[in-house]
Amino acid sequence: MKNKTEYLLFLLLGLVVKTLGLKFSRRLSFILAFIFFYFIPIRKKTAVENLSIAFNNLSQKKIKKIAFGSYKSFVTALIEILYMPNMSRNDIEKAVVCPNKELIKQKYDENKGLILLSAHFGNWEYVAASVSAQVKIPFYVIVKSQRNPYVNDWLNKARTMWINKVVPLGISIRQIYSELKEKNIVAMVADQRGPIEGIRVNFFGRKASVYSGPAILALKTDSPIIYGVTVRQPDNSYVTELHEISKENLPDDYNEKIIELSQRHTSFLEKYIREYPEQWLWMHKRWKY
């Protein structure tokens, strides 16, 4: 019953967004963020604690301002995601400007498989849907299943509206490995906290657990890694510039290779977070252990 009630509310919000239109609905993000930040402070304490660790030179006033900006960014992304079923292929192609998208075609043509990494930054759902439509090559998007199965199905339907395919994270890593061996493009976000037994890399000057999967897959399949972060512009458009994570001069030891490659893509993300801290999701305990 709880799942159905949540799903009905989710659909209701989607209907409101559709009725008001995307441009006007985005204006509601400030109001909704204000409610969730000040009156229903879901994970507000965690966000402030994370920001205090990452930016320990900033005042609490500035920290809370960034935290509020992060909530507003998340609500904006949610509104945009809810509107996706109303978008045409032309709409989604125009949603993200990717000036060096030819890098994907170039690496794809090397016939090695390709790993595309992104983060919960700006609008992470837009980047996979938009860029794949632009380059006309399907991405196999690795997704974590949502707790609510109805919302989960809705999201996966939206993700596959155009040419992408969904690979649930819960399945065996063998399928992801298989897609890369078949020379396909696998896309995933790689910024969440890794398992307690996972590898540690430096993130904002402190050790943080990360998932080693992207590095392991890249090394085992010889697939290049390309990182793309969607940066929201003042007019609510998005720009993502792709960057290949270098695999040159890695350590000889295999485990050290995994750590170093993971460090490289984590450092790349950190650079963007430092520049646009309000566009990353700070609501999970990134330094829990």
In contact, 289 and 198? CB cutoff 8 Å: no
**Tens digit of each residue's pLDDT (9 = 90 or more) over 17-57:** 999 999 999 999 999 999 999 999 889 999 999 999 999 99
What are the contacts of 83-90 at 24+ separation with CB within 8 A?
83/14, 83/17, 83/18, 83/22, 83/25, 84/125, 84/129, 84/158, 84/161, 85/14, 85/157, 85/158, 85/161, 86/18, 86/22, 87/161, 89/133, 89/162
**Tens digit of each residue's pLDDT (9 = 90 or more) over 209-229:** 999 999 999 999 999 999 999
- Output the six-digit token pair for 20: 């008001």
Q: How confident is the model at residue 241 (pLDDT cuts 50, 70, 90)?
A: very high
Q: Tell me the sheet residues that pair with 227.
A: 117, 243
Q: Output the pLDDT for position 123.
A: 96
Averaged pLDDT score across all residues of the chain = 94
CA distance 160 to 171: 18
Per-domain residue ranges for the chain? 2-279
In contact, 113 and 160? CB cutoff 8 Å: no
* 228/1: higher pLDDT: 228
Q: Output the pLDDT for position 169.
A: 77
Using a cut of 0.75, tell me whether the model's pTM lies above it. yes
Q: Output the pLDDT for position 170.
A: 65
**Tens digit of each residue's pLDDT (9 = 90 or more) over 71-94:** 999 999 999 999 999 999 999 999
